[in-house]
């Protein structure tokens, strides 16, 4: 079952009508998007929704929060949602297990999950600022690390950074399924966990509250295993692609318009995104936004190199390496059509 269902309200009129005139509400076609909580990696979606770009394409976006990447994939495969913005690795794993999923557009081009440890854990483990990244990670033993859920991107991230450095995540740490965002910060602050793996703004909140420090962050480029690896793509099922191609083309067109806007008007994008993070302090929001806006794609087309880099990253931790060809995990015709029409390339 999906968890809570909520409708993300477009705020284009409040923000000056960024996307121009939208279609009349009675003419809009609903498209359901499966999310996993709220995080800055969904920045493209917030711009597309809040800026009115979905409505400009005749769509009414409805969001369902399913709490994790594995559930996002399940929602799309089960038909509860037409699309999801999910880790590319989830799409590849699903295809490898016989799931009929396919990526139709880029969404977020940099891996944003970071490891945060509490100040007490850092002191207890003897981690110092002068240590190399490898030495810091190798000291992360005997602690409790919050993740969203087993099999999620946060789970995969922790296992990857440990296995690459010769560690055993099943023995060296206790990975605790906590949920998303705010509960992770609260758990670390209460001392019921020693750290967590998640994304901004919650990682930044832990730092600014003075309760922890970021130990490893792929968005800085310091983790070689995640360099040039895209994080999320827009994924649908093969059945939905066959049955609802016109709707999905409008989805990709809306996202392409949002990409174009994000690169042309950063401050306008900031104002749109801010409405989705009203409970986040201004300084923490701005720090996260400034980092994450750089990862919004310039084109919706998923490249061959992105597929190869993701396969390479996934296989760092696979006992049985996966093999995925471009055509097995990507359907590029919609993104190519949208890019040519809207971006002129």
Give me the count of residues in the chain.
345
Q: Which of 31, 10, 8, 11 is nearest to 234 (CA)?
A: 31
- How high is the pLDDT of residue 24? 53
Q: Of the given ranges (23-27, 88-92, 178-182, 338-342), which has the lowest mean pLDDT?
A: 23-27
3 state DSSP class of 145: strand
pLDDT tens readout for residues 265-293 = 999 999 999 999 998 899 989 989 998 99
Domain 5-110+230-343 and domain 114-226 have a common topology: yes
How much of the chain, in percent, has pLDDT values that exceed 90? Answer: 68
Name residue, tokens 């001392």.
Answer: 191
Question: How crowded is residue 86: how many other Cβ atoms within 10 Å of its Cβ?
Answer: 30
CATH 1.10.357.10 fits 114-226, yes or no: no
What one-character DSSP code corresponds to residue 200? T
Q: What does the alpha-carbon distance between residue 113 and residue 225 come to, in Å, rounded to a whole number?
A: 13
Report CA torsion sign: 189, 34, 158, 131.
negative
Per domain, the residue ranges of the chain are 5-110+230-343, 114-226
Q: What does the alpha-carbon distance between residue 37 and residue 93 come to, in Å, rounded to a whole number?
A: 21
Report CA torsion sign: 197, 198, 204, 206.
negative
What lies within 8 Å, CB to CB, of 33 at 6+ separation is 45, 61, 62, 63, 64, 81, 82, 83, 84, 85
pLDDT tens readout for residues 195-207 = 999 988 889 889 9
pLDDT tens readout for residues 50-60 = 999 999 999 99
Q: Does the pLDDT value for residue 7 go beyond 60?
A: no
- How high is the pLDDT of residue 182? 87
Q: What does the alpha-carbon distance between residue 260 and residue 87 come to, in Å, rounded to a whole number?
A: 22
3 state DSSP class of 140: coil
Answer yes or no: pTM beyond 0.85: no
The average confidence (pLDDT) of the chain is: 89
Domain range 5-110+230-343, CATH class: alpha beta
More confident residue, 182 or 23: 182
- How high is the pLDDT of residue 16? 42
């Amino acid at each position: 079952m999906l968890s809570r269902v909520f409708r993300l309200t477009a705020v284009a009129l409040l923000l000056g009508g960024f996307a121009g005139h939208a279609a009349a509400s009675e003419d809009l076609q609903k498209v359901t998007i499966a999310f996993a909580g709220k995080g800055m990696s969904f920045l493209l979606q917030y711009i597309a929704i809040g800026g009115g770009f979905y409505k400009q394409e005749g769509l009414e976006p409805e969001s369902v929060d399913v709490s994790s990447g594995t559930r996002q994939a399940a929602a799309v495969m089960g038909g509860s949602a037409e699309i999801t913005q999910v880790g590319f690795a989830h799409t590849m794993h699903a295809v490898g297990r016989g799931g009929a999923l396919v990526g139709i557009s880029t969404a977020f081009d940099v891996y944003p999950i970071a490891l945060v440890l509490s100040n007490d854990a850092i002191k207890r483990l003897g981690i110092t600022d002068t240590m190399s990244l490898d030495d810091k990670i190798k000291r992360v033993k005997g602690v409790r690390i919050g993740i969203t859920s087993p099999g999620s991107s946060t789970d995969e991230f922790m296992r990857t950074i440990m296995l690459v450095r010769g560690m055993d995540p099943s023995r060296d740490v206790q990975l605790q399924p906590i949920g998303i965002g705010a509960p992770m910060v609260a758990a670390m602050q209460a001392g019921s966990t020693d750290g967590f793996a998640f994304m901004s703004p919650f990682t930044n909140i832990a730092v600014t509250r003075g309760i922890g420090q970021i130990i490893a962050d792929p968005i800085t480029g310091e983790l070689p295993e995640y360099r040039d690896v895209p994080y999320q793509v827009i994924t649908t099922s093969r059945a939905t692609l066959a049955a609802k191609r016109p709707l999905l083309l409008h989805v990709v067109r809306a996202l392409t318009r949002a990409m174009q806007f994000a690169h042309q008007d950063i401050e306008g994008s900031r104002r749109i995104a801010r409405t989705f993070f009203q409970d986040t302090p201004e300084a923490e929001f701005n720090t996260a936004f400034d980092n994450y806006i750089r990862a919004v794609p310039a084109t919706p087309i998923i490249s061959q190199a992105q597929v190869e880099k993701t396969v390479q990253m996934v296989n760092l931790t696979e006992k049985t390496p996966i093999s995925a060809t471009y055509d097995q995990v990507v359907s590029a015709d919609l993104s190519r059509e949208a890019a040519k029409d809207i971006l002129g390339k």
